Structure 1
Amino acid sequence: MYDAWFSRPVPVSTGLSGDIRNLLSADQALDLLIHHWRDPGSQAHRSALRACRQAVSGGVSADVAREIFVEAARAARILIE
C-alpha cells in the first residue's frame, strides 16, 4: 500500500463548521471520501473513490487521482479555490 502523495495539497472544507483541511495524499482523500463525504454515491464520488484506491494500490499516479478528486470535491462544493 502507498500513501500516494499529491504534488500539491488539495484544500477542502469539512464538517459542520467548515474546517479547512489540506489533503496531501490519495490515502487522506480516500479517508475523506469514505468517512466524511457530503454527497456520497454520486458519479463524481464513485470516480474519485476508484481513482484514489488505484493510486493507493500503485495502479495510477497520485496526481491522476488528485485531479479526479478535485473534480469530485468541486462538484460536492467542498473544494476551496
Structure 2
Amino acid sequence: MRTGHFRKPIVIQPGRIDRDRVVVSVSDAAEVLLRDWPKPTSERRLAAIRACLAVMRGEKPPRVARQAFIVAAKDARILLGDQI
C-alpha cells in the first residue's frame, strides 16, 4: 500500500471555525474524506476518494490525490489553503 506524502500540505476547516486541519498525505486525505467530511456525498468527494485509493494501490502518484482533494475541499467550502 502506498500512502505518499504531499509536497505541500493542505489546510482545511472541516468543522468548528477554530479547528483547522493540516492534511499532509494521501492517508490523511482519505481519513478526512471518509470520517470528517462536512457535506453529504458529492461527485467531487467520490472522485477524491477514488483518487486516494488509486494512489494507495500504486496506480497513480500522490499529486493526483492531492489535486482531487483540493477540488473536493473547494466544492465543500472547507479549503483554507494549499500552499504553506
TM-score, length basis structure 2 = 0.88
Aligned residue pair count: 81
Shift of 1:3: 1.7
The higher relative CO (CA closer than 8 Å, separation ≥ 6) is in 2
| 1:45-56 aligned within 5 A | 45-56=45-56
Whether 1:66 aligns to 2:49 is: no
Structure 1 runs, 4 residues or longer, greater than 4 Å off: none
Q: 1:36 to 1:5 in 2, by over 3 A?
A: same
Identity level (%): 32
What stretches of structure 2 of length at least 5 have no aligned partner?
Answer: none
What one-letter code is carried by the residue in structure 1 that aligns with 2:58? G
Query: In the aligned structure 2, how far is the partner of 1:56 from the partner of 1:4?
Result: 8
Shift of 1:36: 0.7
| 1:22-61 aligned within 5 A | 22-61=22-61
What one-letter code is carried by the residue in structure 1 that aligns with 2:37? W
Shift of 1:78: 0.5
User: In angstroms, what is the RMSD of aligned CA positions?
Assistant: 1.2
TM-score, length basis structure 1 = 0.91
Query: In the aligned structure 1, how far is the partner of 2:47 from the partner of 2:5?
Result: 18
